[in-house]
Structure 1
């Protein structure tokens, strides 16, 4: 819809400009560019204001003893962390379908990456899971090198083991129990779902704002959220 409206208005603006024979080619191009920029800025501002007014879900906290990682909304790093004995457990999350369609769009399935690390160990135990409101499913289990500077998963350079489906039922159940003991289950869904709504909204607002500032030739503030 945006592209069609943009194209129609641009053609109209171009026709109005080129009907003026007294304008030089440079002035015609400059006038057309100014008209297009103005129209685009107006559209971006309208959408920015519309998105800014969207209602966010009620604020909820994660199940204890998980704690929210500071700055997680503005990074691709872990969202939640907790300690379990000598283990440090980090949880990353994304939605399986990216983007925000509208205010009523649902995030009903999450992709969760669980990182379990221990002091003195060169590798972490990694679970890739699908998280739903009433269940958690494990897609894969592997050992991967630790990399605390990485924004997300460090790709393995060696054999990572069989697929989860290839494991016998008793082993699969044991891995599910392993996560359950550490509080990694469907109880995390409501918080992570709400957190993703906020992050998606924050990113969308920032996108319209920074896009408008760029078109307008302005530099966004360094501390712009």
Structure 2
């Protein structure tokens, strides 16, 4: 059985994360100059859902050739730059930021993000716990393409799901890790693991925990309630989904600009 949380709109407050008691906020990686393979796939999915554009590759070229029949380097580069400029212009004009992600995140979480990276973090304190939600653009489900001729039904379509990791730390060496998924209407748990911070890398792998779906239904629901009490619910899942799509769009725009600048040097 897969446990689900139906969206419950919470009251939003502000919070400040104090000194770490066992789990420090991870440092965001250094900005990268181009997206990875999976990053490009995730970017493409988010951009596609944002703009609805379809791209094609022409089989013929209208670019000028030189006397040997080869295209001149400057002509090819200039053509690419022109296409990049068109794409940049389109993305800039069609971009709209959702009101849902304007302002502070819900449920007392604070946002940590940096342009040029593939992931972002939501963090908060709850009693004697530190909670970190990490969302990775490169670790998202790959959307299946519709078969040719398949009828599109608006009413039956659900928003794409996002996957994220929730880490809960207290004083001591262990952290509780949840692998979660949400599309904004529900939140599911796919895995729960108890992970030691200081594990012997030379020894056999430590037992992390059972397959979540194999747990008793009552225990599964208890874990769901545990996360919901800490503000990890369907409403947070909706915020994560919308913010991730927005981030993918902005990262794509930045990537286009950096590529254009590189080609134009």
Normalising by the smaller structure, the TM-score range is 0.7 to 0.9
Q: Deviations over 1:34-72 (max 9, x none)?
A: 110010010011101111122222225321311112x34
Is contact 1:61-1:191 (8 Å) kept? no
TM-score (norm 1): 0.72
Number of paired residues?
188
Structure 1 pair 190–169 and aligned structure 2 pair: CA distance change class (3 A): closer
Among 93, 115, 129, which residue is 1:87 paired with?
A: 129
Larger radius of gyration: 1
Are the structure 2 counterparts of residues 200 and 166 from structure 1 closer, same or farther at C-alpha, using a change threshold of 3 Å? same
* Bigger helix fraction: 1
1:67 aligns with 2:129: no
* Residue 57 (structure 2) pairs with residue 4 (structure 1): yes
Secondary structure of residue in 2 paired with 1:159: coil
Superposed, 1:121-200 pairs within 5 Å as 121-146=172-197, 157-200=205-248
Which sections of structure 2, spanning at least 5 residues, go unmatched?
1-53, 144-157, 199-203
Conservation of the 8 A alpha-carbon contact between 1:128 and 1:141: yes
- 2: CA distance between counterparts of 1:77 and 1:43? 28
TM-score under structure 2 length normalisation: 0.62
Give, in whole Å, the separation in 1 of the partners of 2:103 and 2:238: 8
Q: Deviations over 1:135-183 (max 9, x none)?
A: 1111000123449xxxxxxxx9432221001111121111111111111
Alignment partners' CA distance in 2, 1:81 and 1:201: 23
Partner of 2:150: none
Counterpart residue number, 2:258: 210
TM-aligned CA deviation for residue 77 of structure 1: 4.8
Match of 1:21 in 2: none
Matches within 5 A, 1:102-117: 107-117=159-169
> Whose RCO is larger (CA < 8 A, sep 6+)?
2
Q: What is residue 48 of structure 1 aligned with on the other side?
A: 88
